[in-house]
Chains A and B, each alone.
Chain A
Amino acid sequence: MVTIRRATKEDVKTLIDFFSRMYRLNSEFDPLLLTPENLEERINKVVEKSLEDQNEMIVVAEDQGRIVGAARVLIIDRIFYTPEKEALIREFYVHPSYRRQGVGNEIVNFIISELKERGIEILGAEFPSRNLIAISFYRKMGFREIYCEFIKKI
């Protein structure tokens, strides 16, 4: 039985592991997503800051004391649109042995309920456009494409 909760400082080690796995997986999709050697170090800084920041949220899925999934969400301004705030899932990782069991859905639903309490009405997700698994996952959860990011090495 998996439970979802907000992350704490005790979870940092696992979060670094999970998010660095996610970024290494991203690098499989596109050569422009290669990761730096000190990836863990960088993630450590981001995660520690995130745990203190009101505009960020990290949630974890836990099964019998073991973290099996995690996501980090940023709350950002939409200066030129309404509603004026949106949340963005930037990191998302479910442990391989817990995939296809609904853990991802539970994490997203938990994030949505937390955001609703804060009056935030829009949730987005960022991932490599070649990640067909992520595309399928978010589509099934009712998300749709809104932006395109084009990139060129110069």
Chain B
Amino acid sequence: MVDPVELSRKYEGKIEIYPKIPITSYNDFALIYTPGVAEVSKAIYKDPDKSFELTSRWNTIAVVTDGTRVLGLGNIGPTAAMPVMEGKSLLFKYLGGVDAIPLPINVKSADEFANVVKALETSFGGINLEDIESPKCFYILEKLQSMLNIPVWHDDQQGTAAAILAGLINAMILTNKDPKESKVVFYGAGASNIAAARILAKYGFKYENIVMIDSKGPLYADREDVDHLMLHHKWKYELAIKTNKWEAKEIKDAFSGADAVVAASTPGPNVIKKEWISLMNKDAIVFALANPVPEIWPQDAKEAGAKIVATGRSDFPNQVNNSLIFPAIFRGVLDSRAKAITDEMTIAASEALAKYARDRGINENYIIPRMDEWEAFYEEAAAVASKAVEVGLARVKKSREEFREIAKERILRARKIMNLVISTWSP
């Protein structure tokens, strides 16, 4: 395997910018820059929305982080976060045809973060927040969603939550379980699981049938630190109040009779014990999503009675990964020029992803498409764009079929250009 540091040194980073207007003569300079460009600026000055037609804004997003919770590395700061943001930008282009600018910013407070991003709004068609510590990330997301007129998305929350929902939809169909009746345990109460609980509840699961487990055990309204949460982590507090109708106080009680467990906690193995899985209902569904080692090895979970196991890894069946979501979500919101990404749009992406797998035939080892099933991305993008039209957030209104064709064309174009660049130029 190539050393990633050597790879980064060889290519001197992962992305670069190329112009797309041809320059064939000296006269072209007057068109692409001064004096001709002033006409374009004047048109946008008259109607700022024209910036989505006359500049690259329509397809450009920022991948913004403060570097406070980078991958599994923790708070390494914005400078060291850059390689991750560059990698993300590459995936955005390759999987979604989206021009993503990596933008680690050196800010301290959540409000400072929000103000910087607000100031960037005019240059971008969307904002992808990345690798921000919790609970700050919830505050920043909500604040920016209320301040900005372009979609703001936090991939560690919504992207992972949407992938979890997509996998769960099919896992529940295979095991003949009803979301409205099913007990779901969330093991870990970080950004993705908190967002997933909310998205699942919007989809049709019931809050009272959910149990969230954090490092202190199951959350319930009576727990000693609930008032502390009210002041310092209102998102967890809300869940403490709404979930866990059994008031399960021990992990074993939480797992007892559960239909599904979604673990997004710390790398395993044996973080989730086999004995807990054996307490779950028949045909239990286990999502052990910690990387690089899942909270429980799939084989162990199955031995303990799990019917379907998903992990975050590509070398096991059923990889639940936000890369299945974020490129398509942004393709969809950019194509519909949406003003926001709502939970409904997120759920539309999950449903499209789940349906794509169903159309190919789901089974215990295939509940969610693989990342190389490119066509899933067009379906998702089209579902997101048409949902944006339906909920009145789209500036461009087209049919789902039209959005699918647009997404396909743009994603394939990006991939073709990348292949051309790589095949004609290689250091």
Q: Which residues of A contact B (CB under 8 A)?
A: 21, 24-25, 28, 95-97, 99, 133
Q: How far is the CA of A28 from the CA of B241 in the complex (A)?
A: 20
A6 CB → nearest B CB, Å: 24
How many angstroms from the CA of A21 to the CA of B228 in the assembled complex? 10
Q: How many Å from the CB of A98 to the closest CB on chain B? A: 9
- The residue in chain B whose Cβ has the minimal distance to the Cβ of A22 is B227
B226 touches A (CB below 8 Å): yes
Q: Which of B194-249 contact A (CB under 8 A)?
A: 221-222, 224, 226-228, 230-232, 237, 240-241
CB–CB B241/A96 < 8 A: yes
B208 to chain A, nearest CB (A): 11
Q: Which 4 A-B pairs have the closest CB atoms?
A: A97-B221, A25-B227, A96-B221, A96-B226
Interface positions, chain B 147-174, Cβ under 8 Å from A, are none
Q: Cβ of A21: which chain B residues have Cβ within 8 Å of it?
A: 224, 227
**A97/B241 in contact, CB under 8 A:** yes
Q: Which residue in A24, A95, A96 is a CB contact (below 8 Å) of B237?
A: A96
Q: Which residues of B contact A133 (CB under 8 A)?
A: 230
A99 to B227, CA, bound (A): 11
With contacts A95-B221, A96-B226, A97-B221 taken as known, whether A28 is within 8 angstroms of B231 at the C-beta atoms is yes
Query: Among the listed A24, A25, A28, A96, which residue makes an inter-chain contact with B240, where contact means beta carbons less than 8 Å apart?
Result: A96
* Cα–Cα, bound, A35→B232 (Å): 19
- B: residues with CB less than 8 A from A are 221-222, 224, 226-228, 230-232, 237, 240-241
- Say how far A99's CB is from chain B's closest CB, in angstroms: 8
A144 to chain B, nearest CB (A): 24
- Closest residue on chain B to residue A133 by CB atoms: B230
Shortest CB–CB separation between residue A59 and chain B, in angstroms?
20
- Taking the nearest CB of chain A, how far is it from the CB of B114, in angstroms? 20
Q: Which of A21, A25, A97, A99 has the most CB of B within 10 A?
A: A97
User: Closest CB of chain B to A39's CB: distance in Å?
Assistant: 13
Q: What's the Cα separation between A21 and B221 when bound, in Å?
A: 13
> Could you tell me if A28 and B227 are in contact, using CB atoms closer than 8 angstroms?
yes
Query: Distance (Å) between the CB of B52 and the closest chain A CB?
Result: 40
> Would you call A28 and B221 a contact (CB within 8 A)?
no
Task: Tell me whether B222 and A96 are in contact (CB under 8 A).
Answer: yes
Q: Are A28 and B237 in contact (CB under 8 A)?
A: no
Q: 8 extra interchain contacts, Cβ-Cβ under 8 A, other than A25-B228, A28-B227?
A: A25-B230, A28-B228, A95-B222, A96-B227, A96-B230, A96-B240, A96-B241, A133-B230
Q: A96-B237, A96-B240 are in contact. Are A24 and B221 (CB under 8 A)?
A: no
Distance from A132 Cβ to chain B, minimum over Cβ atoms (Å): 10
Q: Is the CB of B222 within 8 A of A24?
A: no
Alpha-carbon separation in the docked complex, A25 to B230 (Å): 10
In the complex, chain A residues whose CB is within 8 Å of the CB of B222: 95-97
Question: In whole angstroms, what is the CA distance A4 to B224 when docked?
Answer: 25
A99 to B221 alpha-carbon distance, docked (Å): 11
B residues in contact with A97, CB < 8 Å: 221-222, 241
CB distance from A35 to the nearest CB of B (A): 12
CA distance in complex: A25, B226 (Å) = 9
**Chain B residues, CB < 8 A from A96:** 221-222, 226-227, 230, 237, 240-241
A24 touches B241 (CB 8 A): no
Q: In the assembled complex, which residues on chain B have CB atoms less than 8 Å from the CB atom of A24?
A: 227
Kindly state the separation between the CA atoms of A96 and B228 in the bound complex, as whole angstroms.
11
26 residue pairs A–B, Cβ–Cβ below 8 Å:
A21-B224, A21-B227, A24-B227, A25-B227, A25-B228, A25-B230, A25-B231, A28-B227, A28-B228, A28-B231, A28-B232, A95-B221, A95-B222, A96-B221, A96-B222, A96-B226, A96-B227, A96-B230, A96-B237, A96-B240, A96-B241, A97-B221, A97-B222, A97-B241, A99-B241, A133-B230
**Bound-complex Cα distance A21 to B222 (A):** 10
